[in-house]
């Protein structure tokens, strides 16, 4: 009995009630997708008002994974906050690490040695490949094809071995430090990475032939959830979602950081192959193209990595000068921005704000989902590639 | 009185036979799925994991019988039995050998289709009584899908029945021969089209990928069987795999020549009810089972390769593609049968040329498999017995 | 971020009364503007061809406090808006300062910009949820990360946790503490 009372109290004024207060027509039904759901990537709840199969209103309800990372940061020193950045986006942990390290280094004018920058680039690109694998696998799974996901998991195992050799962990690496990286990459590991890259391109070809060129897959994703250029800008999309809508913007090229200005790579854009520019199939293809670009970057970085130190001299009690900075990097899910404000006296941030790509991708749901069918909504949501910890922090 | 006892014993024996075959199919599927996905399937429980189904069944029986509070208890409990009943009765008229059948019904194929239609009622009952909006959506989708695919299936069966002249399974099989070009598959282009239509339609009837939206795991958790657990869930599960075996058996009987083999080996065996006429013809039974297993393998392989269709695309397949194609090929068959008698030279030529085209397609399939294996640089281990 | 200080000067010249201050030095050059004119200025920098700031990077809120003679004093809130232009070549930052009079009069001072940017609504909802700043004329301002019946705004510097939430104690229980296990 107590449990039912608890539920009633909780539901007053919640998302569900807000939709039900509006007059529901006789055939409509309020349905709840999540938080326990195999295909919302993480714990995300979307309340849908459906009429048979067609959705007439959608309202995402997030916050199930809110851990208060920003508040925690105000009580920790800059150095000891690094493991928390892993958990912002656990599938692309190194990118989150180096984004935070870069924000602190830019505010404090701290020099990073050359070799450390190359190490950061190499691990960041490997992590980008890992993350994009985990994006294209679940798209297939949400559509009913379970085999491509297992292939993707198998490929990730190869990269896990290399990342474990470099950093010591398989998923949350805690690799970057303020002023450099924690461990060096030995030559043996670099040769292993090159050998893996030889295997990667034929695998991508095989994967695309298995599921990407499959007629049923294409029919399910084409012309679904088309996000036009102006809509993508207005929704503050970033990363592969933005590029799939036709806008050629990559922070590694437009606002280069680390050594990306010395590396030679393209920025692939969605071209509307098989459908319109900015549909879900374009977002899927975009990630495949970006894996191929990451392979190019990795080869160049491995061949031109200099020798030297991997960690600059940074005081243990690091006090940043008074001021504020907003610094952003290109994470696999979009623009990862760190806003740090320091009050010049303590070794803790006064305010740390994290801006993630998945948060702004979620704003497209309430606009795009109405009108789709439930199965389409699942496919569209999978193509956006959000992870719950990035949204909730 | 003895007749009744006899029938009941016979039904129990039949129950075991179909359970074991459905259970074995689950293990077969899991092993094939594992090998496709570059992993091993279950291989610990028996030799190569062959009695895994027994372990699963024993585990499920021991589970707590959870019935949610707000369900409709009678419908909730009755739904698994209805789907089970539908499948249970379907194998009765299907003959494994010339003298091996449960009952030689002269409405054989019609009875099978009617029996498998019970599944619709069971699924809708399960979905509705679960008091769960997602299960309801799954149940309704399934009802729509199953009844709309009954029509192309019936049209294909109509084509076969016309070619054979009878609804009786034995007659249909006897109208074919042992040679591939004597099968109904290659008899004329219209029966070939009927085979394709029947195959796709029966995949939809069995709720298999690419038509498995009623139990779409990633959308509806588990669709109409979300609220079921333990043995009740296993009944639904059992029904799906029994359906695959039934499909394999029916297609073999209708299109692939059934138990016809070039040589005969008769063993005098007088198992009442299982061997009529006092003998059992072994080679025919083995050949039938081999053909069924090949079809089951093919169905399983399709499941683990293709994504699923959306519900309106699925309806389009049935109403806009399969039904018109089926009707047109039925018309074509009637015209063909009127002008070309069965033993004429033109009919022979058609059969042999279609059979050779079929063999060429099969060889091309194997060539593509070989080519893919050679081209991919991943280390592939083709040993299925790991 | 490619900050262009000439943009700040251009803004100052076009809105001389509304731009209160210009910080052109430092890692994040920004312009401090009046809260009431936020909507007008944002509309201008989005549509004007000289600015063309079609991309909203982030909206951030900072709780400005003061430690005065050992006593904690809450001064106000800073809202920082980061924009980038449509070619992603230049960026601009706007800062809005709202005073906290301690009696709830911080509400209804800042207008919402969600008619200009579709993503602004969620940023503003997060700021309302965690900081308590109410955005005027927003189309939907409700708690986004925390449950709707949560009391308090956690990111404020003077936030203290409610002792129980829906009859669940939020602190550590006394028994465990007495066992010295926590």
Average pLDDT for B8-24? 84
Query: How far B305 CA sits from the closest chain A CA (Å)?
Result: 6
Q: How far is C157 from chain A (nearest CA, A)?
A: 9
Query: Is 50 exceeded by the pLDDT of residue A265?
Result: yes
**What is the tens place of the pLDDT at every residue in C91-135?**
989 999 888 776 655 555 788 998 999 999 999 999 988 988 888
Least confident of B193-202, B217-226, B334-343, B355-364: B217-226
Of A29, A219, A375, the CB nearest to B311: A375
Cα gap A376→A343, rounded to integer Å:
49
| A-B contacts at Cβ under 8 angstroms | 89
B7, pLDDT greater than 80: no
| Residue A104: its H or E element | helix A93-108
Distances (CA, A) of B219 to A112, A142, B135, B275: 47, 7, 11, 47
User: Which distant-in-sequence residues (6+ apart) come within 8 Å of B355 by Cβ?
Assistant: B179, B180, B181, B186
pLDDT at res. A10: 39
Tell me the HSE value of A104 on the side-chain side, using a 13 A CA sphere.
28
B221 vs A37: CB contact, 8 Å cut-off?
yes
Mean pLDDT of A70-95: 91
What's the pLDDT at B209?
74
Bridge partners, residue C95, by sequence: C32, C80
DSSP character at residue B223 = G
3-class secondary-structure state, position A126: helix
Give residue A286's pLDDT: 92
Q: Which residues contact A291 (CB under 8 A, 6 or more apart)?
A: A128, A129, A132, A133, A200, A204
pLDDT along chain C (182 residues), means of 10: 84 82 83 87 88 90 83 84 90 88 66 90 91 86 88 86 79 64 52
pLDDT digits (tens, 9 = 90+) for B138-186: 778 788 888 999 999 999 999 999 888 888 888 899 888 888 888 888 8
Q: pTM for the complete prediction?
A: 0.87
CA distance B218 to chain A (A): 5
Q: Which DSSP symbol is given to A372?
A: S
Three-state DSSP at A86 gives: helix
Note whether A144 contacts B218, CB cutoff 8 Å: yes
pLDDT score, position A22: 44
Best of A217, A374, A376 to substitute, by most chain B Cβ atoms within 10 angstroms, is A374
Q: Which residues of B touch A143 (CB under 8 A)?
A: 218, 307-308
- How many Cβ pairs closer than 8 A exist between chain A and C? 104
Mean pLDDT of B187-204: 91
Residue A17 pLDDT exceeds 60? no
Mean pLDDT of A321-344: 91
Residue A317 pLDDT > 80, yes or no?
yes
Instruction: Calculate the dihedral angle through the C-alpha atoms of B143, B147, B148, B151, rounding to the nearest 10 degrees.
Output: 170
Q: Would you place residue B323 in the very low, low, confident or very high pLDDT band (cuts 50, 70, 90)? A: very high
Nearest to B218 among A141, A217, A373 (CB): A141
Q: What are A206-213's contacts with CB under 8 Å, separation 24+? A: A206/B376, A206/B378, A207/A136, A207/A148, A207/A151, A207/A152, A207/A288, A208/A288, A210/A147, A210/A148, A210/A151, A210/B305, A211/A140, A211/A145, A211/A147, A211/A148, A211/B307, A212/A284, A212/A285, A212/A288
More confident residue, A393 or C179: A393
Task: Quickly count: other Cβ atoms within 10 Å of residue C177's Cβ.
Answer: 11
pLDDT of residue A125 exceeding 50, the answer is yes
Q: Which two tokens stand for residue B220?
A: 């509806």
Strand duo B266-268 + A351-355: pairing: unpaired
Residue ranges of chain C whose CB lies within 8 Å of a chain A CB: 1-2, 26-28, 54-58, 60, 62-63, 80, 82, 86, 88-89, 93, 117-119, 121-122, 126, 130, 142-149, 154-155, 166-167
Q: Is the dihedral of CA B252, B257, B263, B267 positive or negative?
A: positive
Distance from the Cα of A206 to chain C's closest Cα (Å) equals 36
């Amino acid at each position: 009995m107590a449990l039912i009372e608890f539920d009633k109290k909780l539901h007053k004024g919640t998302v569900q009630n807000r939709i039900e207060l509006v007059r529901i027509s006789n055939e409509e039904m309020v349905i709840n997708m999540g938080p326990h759901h195999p295909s919302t990537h993480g714990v995300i709840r979307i309340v849908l008002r459906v009429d048979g199969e067609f959705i007439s209103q959608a309202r995402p309800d997030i916050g199930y994974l809110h851990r208060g990372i920003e508040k925690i940061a105000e009580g920790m020193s800059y150095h000891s906050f690094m493991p928390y950045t892993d958990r912002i986006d656990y599938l692309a942990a190194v990118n989150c690490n180096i984004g935070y390290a870069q924000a602190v280094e830019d505010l404090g004018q701290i020099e990073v040695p050359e070799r450390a920058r190359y190490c950061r680039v190499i691990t960041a690109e490997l992590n980008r490949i890992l993350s994009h694998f985990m994006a294209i696998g679940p798209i297939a799974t949400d559509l009913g094809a379970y085999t491509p996901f297992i292939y993707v998991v198998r490929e990730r195992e190869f990269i896990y071995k290399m990342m474990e050799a470099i950093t010591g962990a398989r998923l949350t690496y805690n690799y970057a430090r303020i002023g450099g990286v924690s461990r060096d990459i030995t030559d043996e590991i670099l040769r292993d990475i090159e050998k893996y890259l030889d295997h990667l391109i034929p695998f991508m070809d095989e994967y695309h032939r298995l599921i990407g060129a499959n007629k049923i897959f294409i029919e399910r994703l084409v012309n679904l959830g088309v996000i036009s250029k102006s809509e993508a800008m207005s929704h503050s999309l970033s990363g592969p979602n933005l590029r799939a809508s036709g806008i050629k913007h990559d922070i590694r090229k437009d606002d280069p950081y680390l050594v990306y200005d010395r590396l030679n790579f393209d920025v692939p854009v969605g071209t509307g192959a098989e459908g319109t520019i900015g549909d879900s199939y374009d977002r899927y293809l975009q990630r495949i193209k970006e894996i191929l670009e990451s392979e190019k970057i990795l080869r160049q970085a491995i061949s031109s990595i200099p020798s030297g130190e991997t960690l600059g001299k940074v005081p243990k009690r690091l006090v940043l000068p008074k001021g504020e900075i907003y610094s952003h990097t290109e994470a696999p899910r979009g623009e990862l921005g760190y806003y740090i404000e320091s009050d010049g006296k303590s070794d803790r941030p006064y305010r740390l704000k994290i801006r993630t790509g998945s948060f702004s991708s979620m704003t497209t749901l309430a606009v795009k989902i109405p009108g789709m069918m439930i199965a389409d909504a699942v496919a569209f949501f999978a193509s956006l590639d959000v992870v719950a910890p990035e949204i909730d922090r | 009185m003895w007749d009744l006892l006899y029938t009941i014993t016979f039904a129990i024996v039949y129950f075991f036979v179909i359970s074991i075959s459905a259970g074995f199919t689950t293990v077969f599927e899991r092993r094939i799925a594992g090998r496709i996905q570059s992993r091993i399937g279950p291989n610990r429980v028996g030799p190569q994991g062959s009695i895994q189904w027994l372990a699963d069944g024993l585990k499920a029986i021991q589970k707590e019988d959870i019935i949610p509070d707000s369900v409709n208890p009678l419908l909730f409990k009755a739904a698994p039995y209805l789907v089970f009943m539908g499948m249970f009765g379907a194998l009765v008229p299907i003959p494994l050998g010339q003298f091996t059948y449960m009952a030689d019904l002269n409405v054989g194929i019609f009875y099978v289709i009617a029996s498998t239609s019970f599944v619709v009622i069971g699924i809708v009952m399960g979905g509705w009584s679960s008091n769960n909006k997602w299960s309801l959506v799954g149940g309704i989708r399934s009802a729509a899908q199953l009844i709309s695919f009954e029509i192309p299936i019936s049209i294909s069966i109509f084509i076969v029945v016309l070619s054979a002249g009878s609804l009786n399974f034995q007659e249909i099989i006897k109208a074919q021969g042992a040679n591939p070009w004597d099968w109904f598959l290659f008899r004329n282009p219209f029966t070939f089209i009927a085979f394709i239509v029947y195959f796709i339609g029966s995949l939809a009837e069995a709720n298999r990928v690419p038509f498995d939206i009623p139990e779409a795991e990633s959308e509806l958790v588990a669709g109409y069987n979300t609220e079921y657990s333990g043995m009740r869930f296993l009944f639904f599960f059992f029904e799906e795999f029994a359906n695959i075996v039934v499909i394999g058996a029916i297609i073999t009987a209708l299109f692939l020549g059934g138990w016809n083999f070039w040589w005969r080996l008769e063993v005098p065996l007088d198992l009442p009810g299982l061997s009529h006429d006092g003998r059992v013809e072994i080679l025919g039974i083995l050949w039938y089972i081999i053909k069924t297993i090949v079809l089951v393998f093919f169905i399983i392989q399709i499941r683990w390769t293709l994504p699923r269709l959306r519900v309106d695309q699925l309806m389009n397949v049935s109403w806009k593609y399969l039904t018109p194609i089926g009707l047109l090929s039925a018309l074509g068959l009637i015209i063909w049968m009127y002008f070309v008698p069965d033993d004429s030279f033109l009919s022979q030529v058609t059969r042999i040329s279609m059979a050779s085209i079929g063999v060429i397609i099969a060889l091309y399939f194997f060539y593509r498999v070989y080519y893919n294996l050679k081209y991919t640089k991943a280390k592939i281990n083709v040993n299925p017995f790991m | 971020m490619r900050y262009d200080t000439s943009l700040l000067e251009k803004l100052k010249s076009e809105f001389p009364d509304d731009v209160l201050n210009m910080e052109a030095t430092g890692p994040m050059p920004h312009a401090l503007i009046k809260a009431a004119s936020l909507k007008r200025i944002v509309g201008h920098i989005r549509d004007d061809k000289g600015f063309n700031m079609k991309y909203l990077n982030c909206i951030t809120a900072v709780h400005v406090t003061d430690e005065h003679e050992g006593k904690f004093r809450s001064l106000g809130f800073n809202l920082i808006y980061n924009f980038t232009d449509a070619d992603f070549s230049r960026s601009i930052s706007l800062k809005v300062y709202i005073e906290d009079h301690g009696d709830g009069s911080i509400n209804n001072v800042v207008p919402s910009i969600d008619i200009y940017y579709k993503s602004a609504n969620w940023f503003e909802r997060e700021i309302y949820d965690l900081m308590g700043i109410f955005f005027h004329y927003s189309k939907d301002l409700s708690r986004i990360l925390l449950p709707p019946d949560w009391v308090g705004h956690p990111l404020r510097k003077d936030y203290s946790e409610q002792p129980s939430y829906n009859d669940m104690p939020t602190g550590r229980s006394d028994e465990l503490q007495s066992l010295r296990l926590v």
